[in-house]
Structure 1
Amino acid sequence: MQPTPVWFTGGAGNRLAADVSGPQDGPPVLLMHGGGQTRHSWSRAHWTLAEAGYRVISLDARGHGQSDWIENGDYGPQSQVEDLLAVIDTLGVAPALVGASMGGVNSLLACAADPRLASCLILVDVTPRLELAGVDHIIEFMTGNADGFTSLEHAAQAVSAYNPHRQQKTDTRGLEKNLRLRDDGRWYWHWDPRFMAGDHRQKVARIAQRMKDAAGKIGIPTLLVRGQQSDVVSPEGAQELQAMIPHMTFVDVEGAGHMVAGDKNDLFNAAIIEFLQRHYPAH
């Protein structure tokens, strides 16, 4: 069964693309991807949650995937939080929020702004303390190949070089959903290049402070899922967040890097399903 494509309206009147699956009366779960990804990065987690009885909404962030590119290039966390608030306002019930990296930042900030916003919070490989070497690695990957790729295979090689511990797939159809074929015959990442504008280390420092301020306001059930091989979130970073949110549950996924859901999907799905069934059970 194919998911139902749905359009939401963001905080600036911008269109946000989403895939929706699962029973209509199931508890809603919002899946929010990391920077430079699209809603399709959740594909297997999306189906696992839907089969477990949840109403699953995988959202393309502004400037990513099929969602609108913003005319003034505003992709800051506050604007993304406003998009998230606008989506949640249409649901009529406090959902579970699952956010990877950038999606986790936005989820944490939103939950701190309104304690009744969500029923529970799942952060995927993101904490206020982000290791700069890992962040630089991501930036290098995202800003590389600005002139696009000659083929999907060429793009797959770049992904493999960035993430060498993940087995490279011979089928590139999944990767096609994260790229656009332009008129020049080359493939480009499916996000607005202006998303990467500015000084990244300054951005990380500002976001880290906002996350620290937000963490102390989180009272809902919270889970941190870290990739054990992540170069972005260290064990020390996880411990620091645990001190800020004492009731937080922590899972360290063996064999996974920063892209936890893609690296070890079965282990990731098992961790979040167990947490949701305990704190936010499906009917």
Structure 2
Amino acid sequence: MERASTSLEFMAFCLSSALLLNLVICANFTELFQPYWAPDHIVTEGDLTKLTLDNVSGCGFESKSKFLFGKASLQIKLVEGDSAGTVTTFYMSSEGPIHDELDFEFLGNTSGEPYLVQTNVYTNGTGNREQRHTLWFDPTADFHTYSLFWNRHYIVFLVDNIPIRVFINKEKDGVPYPTSQAMTIRGSVWNADDWATQGGRVKTNWSHAPFVSAFRSFEIDACELLPEADDTVAKCSGLRQFWWDKPSLRKLDRHRNHQLKWVRARHMVYDYCKDTGRFTELPRECIK
């Protein structure tokens, strides 16, 4: 089991655990991540990393290592005020045209209107699996925790440890599922006013720039593949029993299922599985 975190509490845990297990990695943001786009728009101050969008550029970072199965979490405070046209992301992605990807995309809006959280799952280069939710809090007023959990059985998107979406492995029904491509962990802020706010009808107001989203408390509890390693995905896909492989994590428990139903009933505003206008035949994973 590999773990990494920039929170002080988690670092203390890591240091003590390392003495016992010698399996724990603890590091700060600059040790875990690197800019992949516009490094001059990324500022790190202790545990806080700020990503800035202006009329010149957005920006993004990615982890130096890749991961296959496990959990990645961070806290984000989103762009305040009029954020129309902007998108803040937290996601995992492999490389190439047939890549796998798990997305949190926070779609900005005009002042006083709620953010929409769009999630998406790509398998073998194909996405088009969007769900959109409102949130039960103001994501610009304080930091909140967003997590991606991923094992061989399902993928869970969590907000403050409450599941908002589950994507179940249905490979037996012919639905591709991400099991073999390790992913980097990424974050970004960028302009998407051609679609992000009210379908592109509301554009980015650059007089309100710069737009800043703040990230902190990065925690990675996942199977890590170092860039120079030769063990490839076999290290994470073999018979070794990681915590996310335990029988108790093969499906959501009753409490998490109740939470998911509550979110779907009160906060889901779009589900691709119900969009019969978009799909003449619903995707196979949508058929129960």
TM-score calculated relative to the size of structure 2: 0.29
Q: Which has the higher helix share?
A: 1
Q: Which has the higher strand share?
A: 2
TM-score calculated relative to the size of structure 1: 0.29
State the structure with bigger RCO (CA 8 A, min sep 6), 1 or 2.
2
